[in-house]
Amino acid sequence: MPLTPDAVGPLAGVRVLDASRVLAGPFCGQMLGDLGAEVIKMERPGQGDETRTWGPPFAGDLSAYYLSCNRNKKGLTLDLSKPEGLEIFHQLLDESDVLLENFRSASADKLGLSPAKLLARNPRLIVCSISGFGRTGPWSDLPGYDFAIQGLSGLMSITGPAEGPPSKVGVAVTDVLTGLYAGVAVLACLHARVSTGHGYAIDLALLDCAVAAQVNVAQAYLTSGQVPPRQGNAHLQIVPYQTFQTADHWLILAVGNDGQWQRFCQAAGRSELAEEPRYSTNTQRVQNRATLVPIVSEIVRSLSLGEWQKRLTDAEVPHAPVWNYEQLFASPQAVARGLKVTVRDHEGKPVDLVGSPFRIEGCTLPQPKLPPKLGGDTVEILWDTLALDTDLARLQDSGVI
C-alpha cells in the first residue's frame, strides 16, 4: 500500500556540528543534511574552509569545489584559539548529537578537544574523527591528502594503462569513500545510542577506507600473494569486460558470465567463437585474454556505436557508451532522477548543483539549499541554539565569531 510521507526527513531532530574541512568530513555532513539533519558548518572567521578559494570555476563567491560538498548546512564562524570561542564551541556541542572533525591530534589535545575529553563532558555525543592515518600507528600524526593516500593504498598501482605509469582516479575518491564510511558509522552509532544511552568515538582513516574499498582486487592479493598488474580499463577477473573502440566512439563491453558471452558472439555474427573451447568459460577467457581481447577489439571496431548498442540491447548483453558530463546531464535518465538541481544564490540568481542521490519513500526530504556564506548564520545559531545573550557585536569585533 502507498506510504503517507512524513513531513520531515529521517534525521530530523538530529543536530550535527561539522567542524571538518575540505572534503571527507564536509561530504559526510552534506549527506546527513540531505537526510534531514540540522548541520552547522563551523569555519574560522575571515578565512573559512580553504575549498572556498579552490577555483575557478566559481558561482558568485562560492567555488564549484565548495558547492559540491556543503549544501543543506548553516554557516557559523568561530575561532577556537580564543578562550571565549572555545567555550561557545563546547556549549554548541552540549546541544548537538554529532561532531564531525578532522583536527590534527596534537591540536585537538592542546585545546582539550580529544574524543575522550569531549565524551567526558557530553557522554551522549557521537564524535567522528577523520584523518589520513587514524589515531593509532606510527603515522598517526602525519597529515593525509587524497592523492598521497591513493598512492599509499595501492589504488594507483592498479589504475592506469597496463604499460603506462600508475594513475590516480579522476576525483578525490579516498576522501569521498571516507565520507561515506563516516556517514554509515554515524548512523550506526545514532541507532545504538537509543538503547545504550551513551555516545561513541569514531576513528576513521583515509588509508583504511581506501584499502577496504578495493574489495576484490585487494582480496585477490591476500588470497594469491601475487601483486595484481594494472589492467587499464580491463577487469582483473572477468573477460571481455573493458572499453573497446567502435568505428566512431568508445564502448564499454561488460560480459559478466558465459551466457552473455554466447549471446555476444551471436550478436557479433561470430558463432565460431562461442564454440571455441579456449573461450567457453570465464576462467578460460581470463587465462587466454592475450589472444581473445585482440579478436574482440577487431570485431567491435568494425561497427558504429549505434549499431552495437542496438545489437547488444537486443541480445541482452551489458554495455554502455563512454559519456562526458555534457552528455550525462542532458540524458533523459539524469533529468528523471534529478541528478542536477537548480537553487538560488544569495542574490536570487540560479545556481546548478549536483543532486542528492537519496530517494526514500515514506518521508519528505529537505529541498536542496545553497551552501552557506561564510558565517552567514552565526547570529541566528547563537541566539536560537544557545540563547546567547553576550554582546555579539563585541564577539565579532574581537574575532571570536
Q: Is residue 118 domain-shared with residue 258, that is, in the same domain?
A: no
Q: Is residue 338 domain-shared with residue 317, that is, in the same domain?
A: no
Q: Residue 256 pLDDT more than 60? A: yes
97-106: pLDDT as tens digits: 999 999 988 8
Q: Is residue 22 domain-shared with residue 164, that is, in the same domain?
A: yes
180 is a domain residue:
yes
| DSSP-assigned beta bridge partners for residue 16 | 39, 98
Q: Cα-Cα-Cα-Cα dihedral of 91, 96, 98, 99, to 10°?
A: -20
Query: How much of the chain is in helix, strand and coil states, percent to nearest 5?
Result: 40, 15, 45
Q: How confident is the model over 188-201, as a mean pLDDT? A: 98
Q: Is residue 277 domain-shared with residue 370, that is, in the same domain?
A: no
289-341: pLDDT as tens digits: 999 999 999 999 999 999 999 999 999 999 999 999 999 999 999 999 999 99
Extract the C-alpha cell encoding 52. Answer: 572556498
- What percent of the chain stands above pLDDT 90? 85
Q: What are phi and psi of 169, to 5 degrees?
A: -70, 150
94 with 18: CB under 8 angstroms?
Answer: no
- H or E stretch including 77? strand 74-77
Domain with residue 374: its CATH number is 3.40.50.10540
176 with 26: CB under 8 angstroms?
Answer: no
Q: Residue 75 pLDDT more than 80? A: yes
177 is a domain residue:
yes
Give the per-residue pLDDT at 204. Answer: 97
Q: Is residue 339 domain-shared with residue 389, that is, in the same domain?
A: yes
Pairwise CA distance, residues 297 & 198, whole Å: 59
Q: Is residue 58 domain-shared with residue 27, that is, in the same domain?
A: yes
Q: Is residue 192 domain-shared with residue 143, that is, in the same domain?
A: yes
**Structural domain count, the chain:** 2
**Count of beta carbons in the 10 Å neighbourhood of residue 358:** 13
Sequence-ordered list of residues with C-beta below 8 angstroms from that of 327, at least 6 positions apart, any chain? 321
Mean pLDDT of the chain: 94
| 34 part of the active site | no
Last residue of a domain, one of 290, 321, 352: 321
Q: How confident is the model over 173-180, as a mean pLDDT? A: 98
Q: Is residue 20 domain-shared with residue 162, that is, in the same domain?
A: yes
Q: Residue 1 pLDDT more than 60? A: no
Q: Is residue 364 domain-shared with residue 263, that is, in the same domain?
A: no
Give the per-residue pLDDT at 6. Answer: 67
370-399: pLDDT as tens digits: 999 999 999 899 988 888 767 788 888 888
| DSSP-assigned beta bridge partners for residue 127 | 99, 201
Q: Residue 69 pLDDT more than 80? A: yes
Last residue of a domain, one of 288, 321, 354: 321
In the set 49, 79, 97, 175, the catalytic residue is 175
Pairwise CA distance, residues 220 & 215, whole Å: 9
